Amino acid sequence: MNQPLFRGSATALITPFANGRVDVSALRRLIEQQLEGGTAAIISCGTTGEPATLTADERELVIRETVKAVDGRIPVICGTGSNNTRAVVENERRYRDLGCAAQLVVTPYYNKTTQDGLYAHFMHIAENTELPIILYNVPSRTNLDISAQTLERLAQCERFIALKESSYDLPGVMQKMRAANGRLAFYCGNDDMVYPMLALGFEGVISVLSNLKPRMMSDMVSAWFAGEQARSRQLQLDALPLVRALFTEVSPIPCKYAMERLGLCANELRLPLIPAGQSTRALMDAALEGVKTYC
């Protein structure tokens, strides 16, 4: 396997809004916080960034401004995924000259396909785009899982450089790692599974939690690679209440509530997402109190 694009904690960055528009000033502040917190890469317009309710021009704006604010200090990965294969290709062509290091491509959703269809979908993207591809497998959202057999076929193509795996099926994950045979870097997509996945050989995490606590998540991963497994494990355990609070409602609903509480950006979403309910807010308040010593 070639050198991974990044090792450590990457943030699936939220998109801040103010009065119905993308808040570019807040976006720049969030990026500086991420850089100060040791974040290794930023995903712009991934699922957490609400791309489904951004216009095409807004998505391009967010990615362009993110690349500009990062200024080459860490890789920026743009989300191009869609359940429309042609749209993925069009997205990449729109973003490819903005300065991104790679694209994150989720499995199709709603109009789900077969494993052969998955292979055809991703190979069409590989053959018609230029940015390196990080595959994104998140069955809880798409109800579609890249099988080990399909991953083995895809891994033969050098256009695919990594897999973001959001799964709790450890034997299944190990089968995928065996199928990839070292050709892909693996990144954890579940904030409550980082330590176990690092133990399996993952290169890091693409995190929602790090929107709130970039240093905490960065330290969790860096401690593992520094041989400080006990510290890494303790950070994972300390983070669990906050992770559970972050996913009591559809992400990024709880995340944006927490970010407003921390003074990072407004708690503004776009329909069909609405602000967090009272029980989620109470759970988040308690969880934030438990990790207030971390940044």
Tens of pLDDT along 238-269?
Answer: 999 999 999 999 999 999 999 999 999 999 99
* Separation of alpha carbons 169 and 80, rounded Å: 26
pLDDT grade for 294, boundaries at 50, 70 and 90: confident
Among 194, 209, 293, 199, which Cα is nearest to 251's?
A: 209
Question: Could you read off the pLDDT of 81-117 as tens digits, one per residue?
Answer: 999 999 999 999 999 999 999 999 999 999 989 999 9
pLDDT score of 1: 58
Evaluate whether 266 touches 275 at the Cβ level (below 8 Å).
Answer: no
* Separation of alpha carbons 14 and 8, rounded Å: 19
pLDDT score of 67: 98
Question: Could you read off the pLDDT of 20-33 as tens digits, one per residue?
Answer: 999 999 999 999 99
Evaluate whether 180 touches 200 at the Cβ level (below 8 Å).
Answer: no
As annotated, the active-site residues are: 136, 164
Percent above pLDDT 90 for the chain: 95
pLDDT at position 270 over 90 = yes
CB atoms within 10 A of CB 183: 18
For residue 155, is it left (φ>0), alpha (ψ between -120 and 50) or beta? alpha
pLDDT score of 165: 98
* Separation of alpha carbons 170 and 154, rounded Å: 21
* Separation of alpha carbons 210 and 212, rounded Å: 5
From the centroid of its chain, how far is CA 177? 19
Q: Which distant-in-sequence residues (6+ apart) come within 8 Å of 174 by Cβ?
A: 200
Prediction pTM value: 0.96
Question: Could you read off the pLDDT of 66-85 as tens digits, one per residue?
Answer: 999 999 999 999 999 999 99
